[in-house]
Chain A
Amino acid sequence: MSLRSLLWAALLSPTSAIAVSPQSTDAVEIMRAVEDRELGDRSVARLEIEITDKAGRKRSRTVRSWSMDFEDSRKQLMLFESPADVRNAGLLSVDYDDPARSDDQWLYLPSLSKTTRISGADKSGSFMGTDLTYADMTRRDIEDYEYAILEASAEVGGEAVWLIEARPKTDQERSETGYLKTHIWVSKDKLVPVQSKAWVSEGKRLKYTQFKDIKKVDGLWIAHTIGVRTVRNGQVESSSALVFTSIAFDQEEVTADSFSERRLEQGL
């Protein structure tokens, strides 16, 4: 399992989780419970992103996001709210359930007054310039990973957790995600990840992720803040903070029409 599914699960984990005993030492069972749950649908969110470079310099942007499940895919529309010079630029992405099928992405740049398709070949590419990749943002198949319990009774911030190691089974998965392995700390109470550490193959980097401010929204446990830090040889290369200032599910305003090119070009 990669970071991508962790994010997915952390962001959109319903409370009606499959029950797993806190005493369980079956890593696959735990991760299946984390992964195979009904995901929230028809969401509307506002996300503030702050990117910090190695010198401590920061840039921020705000994105409005809509997402919805379709028969064979999940679609997401993101529109830039700020900074002002990119307001209304937008990205429409389709993440197909079929792992063999490449995702589609369309970019709308107001200056061009038309929508451009972006090649989705490289999913290990950055998500909006953050430390997260597009691959991090999409759901992955649990069967692609080997899991092992490293600690059955760990604690993070006073919360009882399992520490689980996930390793991709195939070179393809390793190559696509860019991760050699991931350590995941899963809350026994909420059945959501609270933090993770990923070994990034390229450049022997380490990517640390913290899921914080986990609160229930419409019955789902939602990490309202995600902090990601990329470290290499003991030096922080960059970090990103993603903060959901608002998020709601099952919103009536979210319909199939919300994910059309026309809607993308319409802007905020």
Chain B
Amino acid sequence: MTNPDTESRFFRWSTERVLQYRWLMLALLVAISVAAGVGASTSLMVDNSTEYFAGGDAEVSGNLESFRDDFGRDDYFFVLVEGDVFSVPFLTQLSALHEALEAADLEVESLGERRAVRQARLAGRTLPEAEPELDDFGSFGEDDGWGEEAGGTLIEEVTSLVNFRQTLFEDGAVRVHGLLDAGIPTESELPALKEKVLSNPAMVGNIIGPRATHTVLLVRTQFMNEDDSARVNTYLGELSEGFEKPGFAVSVTGITSLNQSLNGAVVKDTAVLFSLAAVVMGIVLIALFRRVVPVIAPLAVVGLSGLWTLGMMSLVGAPMTIVSSIIPAFLVCVGLGDSIHILAVHRDEVAKGVGGREAMVRAIATTGVPVMFTTATTMAGLASFKFASAPAIQEMGLAGAFGVFAALVNSLVLLPILISFQPELPGVAARSERPPDRIDRFLERCRDLSVGRGLMPTLLGGVLLVAIAAGGMSLLSVYHNPLSWLGEDHPTTIGITTMDKEVGGISSVQVVFDTESEHGVKDLELLRAIEDLAEALETYEHPVTHERIVSGSVSLVDIVKETNRALHGGDPDQYVLPDDQRAVSDALLLFESAGPEELARIATADLKRSHLSVRVKWMDATSYTPFRQFIDEQIERTIGDKAKVVSTGGLYTILSVIDSLISDLIRSFSVAVVVITLMMIALLRDIKLGLISMVPNLLPIATILGFMGYVGIPIDMSNLVIASIIIGIAVDDTIHFLHQYRVGYQATGSTETAIRLAMDHAGRAMVSTTAVLTLGFSVFIASSLGSIQRFGLLIGLACCVALLMDLVLAPALLRFFIPDRSSQGPDHVSS
């Protein structure tokens, strides 16, 4: 017994085949799930580094990689120590800690591995051979490892008060040594040491704060992947803790600590949010169906879909990020919608006395098309992130789209199979036979709002809402501060803010000078310009807080000045750039022999390129924007055409993130709107109806963005995806509503009758799915990251607004724009 008017022949056929071969299908689904589970548990990475978020900007990434090719890592692990720095016990303990850090060793599998190389490998690209052409070493010189000998590969360099470079003139000779090479000073020597250190601009703001209550050991390691960086961070933390004692408080901080904290939160959140969402959904399903299998089956659908998605991410090398951590819970909420729509019809069919298998075949044959379209529109919303610039956003979009597709497949295959194991359901009262409940009364009120006298106020209300939302949207700000996601009391936040306040920033700007001529970086005029630039940057004040944000800088200029002073008998007045070019060349010749490794970190071997390294305090990324403009202006003023200048480093990476946020939002959202509009026109087979359908989809987004503007929630990396996700979700209800409307309108020609039919057939499921989504997204409040909490609440709110738009504004628009072609007219519609 089929109904060709409302049923899809394809979905009838496919469901019959699925049920016919249910064991084979089940085995196939289990096999895919096992493979996905193994992949996800063994090779899924977590990566929340700013560098990864900014990876889509080829110029920014290229500049950073070029810098690393020439000068190595641009970041440190900061081991921050608090206490009375200039005391014998403190310096003694500091010296012991320094030695232990230098000897620190940990088996690190990815040691030497560069992110760019890894990403290129995953993308199937090959990078230019980094290894220089050398003399004919043949197989000799191929590193076959260090063998069984002990040593330390992990630590490249530790810089602290213990070994801070001093090029001095002592005992009639120029001597290069570490600050405490001669041992821990005596009590009587401490005042002189303190004065020497605190008057040295290369040390203050770099390894010690002006108050001398904190000092830091800068630990530079080789390149490694994120997971190993986190392990090293933990290891250094544990190692340092062993040196803690009264008056010597140690903590490890820096970008890696931040990334590790974020990664930890993401891993925890993914599991917690997924579990909570599943529990909430389970409760909702129990309330709706009051049977075991109809509760378990949808959860199995979304569970497997989530697992497949994680498996796919591990397969393509896409890591979990703060953005993609929402995917499993998102899939639970969104994927469940398909099952609820199918099960609602299945229940009605059973209530009509249709047999179990046929009831499911009819349910899918009836709902298959709208379910497929809702999936396609949600996928379109998510896949639109392919047009974002940040890989983290792109991959989240594609993974989410895959997950939604997996949920469709499982809804159409796994769900009917599992339900087929359900013993025949007892008859449930058909809708017409039971008294109206709250949902019915709610739907009736919604309908009343757009009928007769209610029509124009509802339409005007819609226009007013748009105006109010536009006002709020104009107040939207852009902000990116991963530290704020953790909260002020988080140890990582405390560590980084203490570091900023008491010593110097953890972020950096690297200004690279390329003279394109051998020995060009020795040019005195260029060095004078760099000195001028460094001075300007160091005195820059934040335009709002008027605080200095640069804690110090290092360049070839400092090396030349220091060496010049030493060559002039240590005369402090000679801590200047020499007057003539020859003296600069001579100073660098001396330094080259004394510290070739230090020189290599600041200038290339051919002396064509060097850099100015500027340590910058932590701020939200938007606050860096005026600083970047200032840097550009000062480079233009000081360097001019003396060298080609490129700025890179951690801060520039963050800035590229902020630069791309709004354009990403607009670009991906525009794509989503266009694609979804076309889909709606295709589904409804009516351009006018398709365009009308977009109004209730776009208004919730405007409302939420306006709300964010009014309450001061800024656009950041974690909520950038909100608009496209809302449209992807909101459109589902619209599709169900308008699909039923179109069926009714085609049958009767009456707008009013069609609206009532749509309310009756889709209204309850729309209310149910909205309740499910709102409840589901409300579990995000359990996230350990504030940004995710807000994200869940905003989506939940958007779902409610979207429901109201579909039930109130959409009918009003239909009544206003779609002519009634029935012979009876609207006044004769039976109620």
Chain B binds chain A? yes
Identify the A interface with B (CB < 8 A).
Answer: 51-59, 80, 83, 85-86, 89, 107, 109-112, 116-119, 121-122, 125-130, 156, 180-181, 195, 197, 199, 201, 203-204, 206, 208, 210, 212, 225, 227, 229, 231-236, 238-239, 241
* Pair A109/B605 contact, Cβ less than 8 Å: no
* Pair A208/B137 contact, Cβ less than 8 Å: yes
Prevailing SS type, chain B contact patch? loop
Q: Closest approach, in angstroms, between the C-beta of A59 and any C-beta of chain B?
A: 5
B608 is an interface residue with CB less than 8 A from chain A: yes
Q: Closest approach, in angstroms, between the C-beta of A133 and any C-beta of chain B?
A: 10
B823 is an interface residue with CB less than 8 A from chain A: no
Chain B contacts for A58, CB-based, 8 A: 605-606
* Pair A55/B130 contact, Cβ less than 8 Å: yes
* Pair B152/A203 contact, Cβ less than 8 Å: yes
**Given A118-B173, A128-B593, A234-B112, residue A85 in contact with residue B585 (CB < 8 A):** yes
Identify the B interface with A (CB < 8 A).
Answer: 69-70, 72, 111-112, 130-137, 140-141, 143, 146-147, 149, 151-153, 155-156, 170-177, 222, 518-519, 522, 567, 578, 580-583, 585-587, 589-590, 592-594, 596, 599-600, 604-609
A231–B140 Cα distance when bound, in Å, is: 12
Interchain Cβ contacts under 8 Å between A and B, 14 examples: A53-B70, A53-B132, A58-B605, A59-B605, A86-B585, A107-B590, A119-B170, A121-B177, A122-B176, A129-B593, A129-B599, A204-B153, A232-B222, A235-B131
**Given A57-B70, A83-B519, A206-B146, residue A236 in contact with residue B134 (CB < 8 A):** yes
A85–B593 Cα distance when bound, in Å, is: 16
Complex: chain B residue closest to A185, CB-CB: B140
Chain B contacts for A203, CB-based, 8 A: 151-153, 155-156
* Pair B586/A111 contact, Cβ less than 8 Å: yes
A239–B69 Cα distance when bound, in Å, is: 15
**Given A206-B146, A229-B141, residue A112 in contact with residue B112 (CB < 8 A):** no
Chain A contacts for B599, CB-based, 8 A: 129
Q: Closest approach, in angstroms, between the C-beta of A66 and any C-beta of chain B?
A: 19
* Pair B137/A229 contact, Cβ less than 8 Å: yes
A174–B410 Cα distance when bound, in Å, is: 66
Complex: chain A residue closest to B105, CB-CB: A204
Q: Closest approach, in angstroms, between the C-beta of B225 and any C-beta of chain A?
A: 14
**Given A118-B174, A121-B177, A236-B134, residue A57 in contact with residue B590 (CB < 8 A):** no
**Given A127-B593, A203-B152, residue A208 in contact with residue B141 (CB < 8 A):** yes
Across the interface, B174 reaches (CB within 8 A) one of A107, A129, A238, namely A107
A241–B567 Cα distance when bound, in Å, is: 29
A240–B177 Cα distance when bound, in Å, is: 25
* Pair A125/B583 contact, Cβ less than 8 Å: no
A195–B135 Cα distance when bound, in Å, is: 13
* Pair B586/A109 contact, Cβ less than 8 Å: yes
Q: Closest approach, in angstroms, between the C-beta of A189 and any C-beta of chain B?
A: 19
Complex: chain A residue closest to B589, CB-CB: A86
A116–B519 Cα distance when bound, in Å, is: 24
Q: Which of B174, B177, B586, B599 has the most CB of A within 10 A?
A: B586
Identify 20 new A-B residue pairs, CB closer than 8 A, beyond the known A116-B567, A195-B140: A52-B605, A54-B130, A54-B132, A57-B608, A85-B582, A85-B585, A112-B567, A118-B173, A119-B170, A119-B176, A121-B175, A129-B592, A197-B140, A199-B151, A203-B153, A204-B152, A210-B137, A227-B135, A234-B112, A239-B135
Across the interface, A227 reaches (CB within 8 A) one of B134, B583, B604, B606, namely B134
* Pair A206/B132 contact, Cβ less than 8 Å: no
Complex: chain B residue closest to A229, CB-CB: B141
Across the interface, B589 reaches (CB within 8 A) one of A109, A199, A235, namely A109
Chain B contacts for A126, CB-based, 8 A: 592-593, 596
A238–B131 Cα distance when bound, in Å, is: 10
Chain B contacts for A129, CB-based, 8 A: 592-593, 596, 599
* Pair B585/A59 contact, Cβ less than 8 Å: no
Q: Which of B137, B580, B593 has the most CB of A within 10 A?
A: B593
Complex: chain B residue closest to A56, CB-CB: B132
Complex: chain A residue closest to B156, CB-CB: A203
Q: Closest approach, in angstroms, between the C-beta of B70 and any C-beta of chain A?
A: 5
Chain A contacts for B590, CB-based, 8 A: 107, 109, 118
* Pair A234/B132 contact, Cβ less than 8 Å: no
* Pair B600/A206 contact, Cβ less than 8 Å: no
Q: Closest approach, in angstroms, between the C-beta of A237 and any C-beta of chain B?
A: 8
* Pair A53/B600 contact, Cβ less than 8 Å: yes
Complex: chain A residue closest to B590, CB-CB: A107
A122–B593 Cα distance when bound, in Å, is: 11
A236–B131 Cα distance when bound, in Å, is: 7
**Given A116-B567, A121-B177, residue A233 in contact with residue B153 (CB < 8 A):** yes
Chain B contacts for A212, CB-based, 8 A: 135
Complex: chain B residue closest to A200, CB-CB: B151
A56–B171 Cα distance when bound, in Å, is: 39
A197–B142 Cα distance when bound, in Å, is: 11
Complex: chain A residue closest to B583, CB-CB: A111
**Given A116-B174, A210-B137, residue A57 in contact with residue B593 (CB < 8 A):** no
Chain B contacts for A56, CB-based, 8 A: 131-133
Chain A contacts for B592, CB-based, 8 A: 126, 128-129
* Pair B583/A112 contact, Cβ less than 8 Å: yes
* Pair B581/A85 contact, Cβ less than 8 Å: yes
**Given A54-B132, A57-B604, A236-B132, residue A180 in contact with residue B174 (CB < 8 A):** no
Q: Closest approach, in angstroms, between the C-beta of B510 and any C-beta of chain A?
A: 15
* Pair B135/A210 contact, Cβ less than 8 Å: yes
A116–B583 Cα distance when bound, in Å, is: 14
Chain B contacts for A112, CB-based, 8 A: 567, 583, 586
Chain B contacts for A235, CB-based, 8 A: 112, 130-131, 143
* Pair A232/B132 contact, Cβ less than 8 Å: no
A199–B147 Cα distance when bound, in Å, is: 10
* Pair B141/A204 contact, Cβ less than 8 Å: no
A129–B583 Cα distance when bound, in Å, is: 18
* Pair B151/A201 contact, Cβ less than 8 Å: yes
**Given A129-B596, A234-B112, residue A180 in contact with residue B149 (CB < 8 A):** yes
Complex: chain B residue closest to A239, CB-CB: B134
A85–B174 Cα distance when bound, in Å, is: 21
Complex: chain B residue closest to A130, CB-CB: B596
Chain A contacts for B176, CB-based, 8 A: 119, 122, 125
A118–B175 Cα distance when bound, in Å, is: 6
* Pair B135/A86 contact, Cβ less than 8 Å: no
Chain B contacts for A110, CB-based, 8 A: 582, 586
* Pair B578/A111 contact, Cβ less than 8 Å: yes
* Pair A52/B134 contact, Cβ less than 8 Å: yes
Chain A contacts for B140, CB-based, 8 A: 156, 195, 197, 208, 210
A85–B580 Cα distance when bound, in Å, is: 11
Q: Closest approach, in angstroms, between the C-beta of B693 and any C-beta of chain A?
A: 57
* Pair B133/A111 contact, Cβ less than 8 Å: no
Q: Which of A195, A204, A225 has the most CB of B within 10 A?
A: A204
* Pair B111/A86 contact, Cβ less than 8 Å: no
A180–B604 Cα distance when bound, in Å, is: 29
* Pair B586/A86 contact, Cβ less than 8 Å: yes
A236–B141 Cα distance when bound, in Å, is: 9
Q: Closest approach, in angstroms, between the C-beta of A96 and any C-beta of chain B?
A: 16
Across the interface, A232 reaches (CB within 8 A) one of B153, B174, B583, namely B153
Q: Closest approach, in angstroms, between the C-beta of B565 and any C-beta of chain A?
A: 13
Complex: chain B residue closest to A204, CB-CB: B151
